[in-house]
Structure 1
Amino acid sequence: MSTVSLGRRLLALIIDWFVALLSVALLTGSPLSGEGSVNPLWNLGMFFVQVWVLTGLLGYTIGKRLLGMRVEGPDGRPIGLVRAAVRTALLCLAVPALLQNDEGRGFHDIASTSRVVRV
C-alpha cells in the first residue's frame, strides 16, 4: 500500500468541491459566486452526496480518480454507503480530516475504517 500525501489529498478535495459547485450552478442556473448565487449549504449538500455515493460505491471521487487515489476498507474493496456516509460527514466538518495519525490517516478514515491509497 502506498501512502498518499496530504497535499495530494487536499488537491483532490478541491477538485471535488469545484465539481459540487459546478453541479449546483448547472442544476439551479445560478452563478458560482456573488449576487444571485445559491446558499452555500446547497454546495455542501451536493459535495456530501457526490463524495458519499462515489466513495461508497466506487471507492473514489472524481478528484481522487484524476489524481490516482482510491478509498478502500481493510479488505481492499470500496467501503459501502454506510461507512462512506460517516467518512463524508466527518470530512464535511474539515477538522477531523486535518487530524492525522503517524500513518497519515485522518480521523474520518480511522472512524470509517478506511484508508486512501494510490492506484
Structure 2
Amino acid sequence: MTDASPSNSYPGERLGLPASGSGSIARPGRRIAALAIDYVASTIVAMAFFGYNQFALPSEAGATQFAPMLVFAAVNVLFLPTLGGTPGHRLLGLRLHLVGGGWVGPWRPIVRTVLLCIVIPAVVWDADQRGLHDKAAGTVLLRA
C-alpha cells in the first residue's frame, strides 16, 4: 500500500535523494527479492543446525518452528550495523542508511528487525516507499 502525494514526483524526493541510480530509494522488487534470499538462507541454516523440518506438522515441530525466524532476526541484527545490509541486500546492491546520513548504530537494526518480523509494518509504505519499520528506525534502504 502506498500513500501517493502530489508534491512528490518520485520516491525519496522529500528526503533529498536522487530519482534513480546509486543512492536512490530501493524499489519493492529488489526489497522483496532480498527478503526472500535472506529468509530462504535462514531456513537452510535452521534446517542444518537446529533440526528444523519445514514439512513437519505443527504438533511435531515443537520449538524449532521458530528457528528460521530467529536466524533471520540474528542475521539482520548482526549484518545491518556491520555491513550496512543483510546478505540478500548486499547481493542485490542495496544498503541500509540512516536518514540524514551517519552510522545506523546497534539499536536501529534491532527496532527495524523486530518490526519486520511482525510483518505488518513492512507492507505499509509511505510516499517514499519506506515501510513503517524503516520509518520507526529512522532508516532508508537505498541502491548501493
Q: Flag whether TM exceeds 0.5 (same fold).
A: yes
User: Cα 1:97–1:24, aligned 2, differ >3 Å: closer, same or farther?
Assistant: same
Larger gyration radius, structure 1 or structure 2: 2
What CA distance in whole angstroms lies between the structure 2 residues aligned with 1:42 and 1:29? 9
Q: Contact (CA 8 Å) 1:71, 1:78: kept in 2 or not?
A: no
Please say if 1:113 is aligned against 2:138: yes
* Number of residue pairs matched by the alignment: 118
Q: TM-score, normalised by structure 2?
A: 0.75
Q: Which residue of 1 aligns with 2:55?
A: 34
What CA distance in whole angstroms lies between the structure 2 residues aligned with 1:37 and 1:102? 40
Q: Which residue of 2 aligns with 1:15?
A: 37
What CA distance in whole angstroms lies between the structure 1 residues aligned with 2:26 and 2:142? 6
Instruction: State the Cα RMSD in Å.
Output: 1.7
Q: Which residue of 2 aligns with 1:101?
A: 126
What CA distance in whole angstroms lies between the structure 1 residues aligned with 2:27 and 2:116? 16
What CA distance in whole angstroms lies between the structure 1 residues aligned with 2:80 and 2:37? 14
Q: TM-score, normalised by structure 1?
A: 0.89
Q: Contact (CA 8 Å) 1:58, 1:78: kept in 2 or not?
A: no
Q: Contact (CA 8 Å) 1:4, 1:117: kept in 2 or not?
A: yes
Q: List runs of 5+ in structure 1 lacking aligned partners.
A: none
Please say if 1:63 is aligned against 2:88: yes
What CA distance in whole angstroms lies between the structure 1 residues aligned with 2:100 and 2:83? 14
Q: Contact (CA 8 Å) 2:124, 2:132: kept in 1 or not?
A: yes
Q: List runs of 5+ in structure 2 lacking aligned partners.
A: 1-22
